């Protein structure tokens, strides 16, 4: 990393990798202060939407030195898009973070149309954005993270063999819920911020039904924002309502599921949600 960026994202390396499926990803790896894998190997926390999220989440690695509420050591791996594709991360994430077969809600289509009318999107951008939602592959992206990217991280950064975490926000939060509901044991804890459960027919409800009463030991922390719930944008009202419904149906898993309502908007909530996840799931106070 260049000297200019090193001052902003201390102890951060960057590399690019092509997945087995032929997609290019940018990867930022932020190690803990004074990290020495020869003495103590730290687990990995994967953070989605790296192009947007790395600047707001990677600096929080200093929480591992906070004397008032110390966070357990972790290596942060932020995953985004590389090269020319990086400028299109907002639509490419739809392909990777949304479960296969996820319906596109009316409220979501209306939100895209409003962006078009306001000039925030061109017609070409809107059509490309929705096109990615018609062929979604969260399953392939989860496999990439755990079976392709992680072995490289483990080898190159000397990380621990267990205790890993995952954090996603918005559609990244939907991916987090999807991952938890698959029953994957790869992650010890998962954070889902304002998950994009835009439809009452979301695949996560089908997953939950299939899961039944089976126990999932992986900790799940879900957050959403009061401004989403109380504001006048239908898409944000929908995702909070549907997320609340999902949480109510998770009562049989109350031992491993926690939640919080934050005083943020959908745009400002990412960093607050990540910090809530760290405090709830990775505080030394709750180490076991």
Within 13 A of 66's CA, how many CA atoms are on the CB side? 19
Regions in the chain scoring below 70 on pLDDT: 1-7, 252-254, 285-288
**What are the residues facing 257 on neighbouring strands?**
220
Pairing outcome for strands 165-169 and 24-30: unpaired
Q: What is the pLDDT of residue 213?
A: 79
CA of residue 273 relative to chain centroid, distance: 10
Q: What is the pLDDT of residue 111?
A: 81
Q: What is the pLDDT of residue 140?
A: 97
Token code pair at residue 104: 């596109």
Q: What is the pLDDT of residue 288?
A: 43
Q: What is the pLDDT of residue 127?
A: 80
In order of their start, the domains of the chain are 3-101+136-286 (3.40.50.1820)
Angle at 101 between CA 269 and CA 180, to 5 degrees: 50
Q: What is the pLDDT of residue 153?
A: 98
| Interacting residues of 138 by C-beta distance below 8 A, sequence separation 6+ | 96, 97, 98, 99, 100, 175, 178, 179
DSSP 212: T
* Alpha carbons 139 and 178: distance in angstroms, whole number: 9
Q: What is the pLDDT of residue 240?
A: 96
* Alpha carbons 122 and 105: distance in angstroms, whole number: 20
Q: What is the pLDDT of residue 16?
A: 96
* Alpha carbons 113 and 167: distance in angstroms, whole number: 29
* Alpha carbons 21 and 138: distance in angstroms, whole number: 12
* Alpha carbons 240 and 66: distance in angstroms, whole number: 32
DSSP string, 196-210: ----TT-HHHHHHHH
Q: What is the pLDDT of residue 286?
A: 52
Q: What is the pLDDT of residue 2?
A: 52
């Amino acid at each position: 990393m260049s000297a200019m960026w090193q001052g902003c994202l201390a102890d951060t390396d960057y590399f690019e990798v092509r997945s087995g499926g032929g997609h290019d990803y940018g990867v930022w790896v932020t190690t803990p202060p004074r990290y020495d894998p020869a003495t103590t190997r730290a687990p990995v926390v994967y953070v989605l939407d790296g192009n947007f999220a790395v600047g707001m989440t990677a600096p929080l690695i200093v929480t591992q030195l906070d004397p008032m509420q110390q966070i357990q050591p972790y290596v942060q791996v932020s995953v985004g898009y590389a090269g020319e594709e990086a400028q299109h991360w907002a639509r490419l994430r739809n392909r990777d973070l949304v479960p296969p077969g996820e319906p596109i809600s009316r409220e979501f289509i209306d939100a895209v149309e409003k962006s078009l009318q306001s000039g925030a999107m061109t017609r070409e951008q809107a059509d490309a954005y929705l096109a990615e939602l018609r062929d979604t592959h969260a399953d392939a992206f989860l496999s990439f993270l755990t079976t392709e990217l992680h072995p490289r991280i483990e080898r190159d950064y000397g990380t621990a063999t267990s205790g890993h975490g995952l954090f996603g926000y918005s559609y990244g939060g939907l991916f987090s819920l999807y991952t938890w509901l698959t029953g994957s044991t790869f992650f010890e804890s998962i954070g889902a911020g304002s998950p994009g459960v835009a439809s009452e027919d979301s695949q996560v409800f089908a997953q939950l039904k299939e899961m039944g009463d089976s126990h999932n030991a992986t900790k799940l922390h879900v957050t959403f924002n009061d401004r989403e719930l109380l504001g006048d944008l239908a898409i944000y009202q929908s995702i909070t309502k549907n997320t609340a419904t999902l949480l109510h149906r998770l009562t049989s898993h109350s031992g491993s599921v926690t939640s919080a309502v934050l005083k943020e908007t959908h745009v400002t909530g990412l960093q607050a949600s990540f910090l809530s996840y760290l405090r709830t799931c990775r505080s030394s106070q709750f180490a076991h």
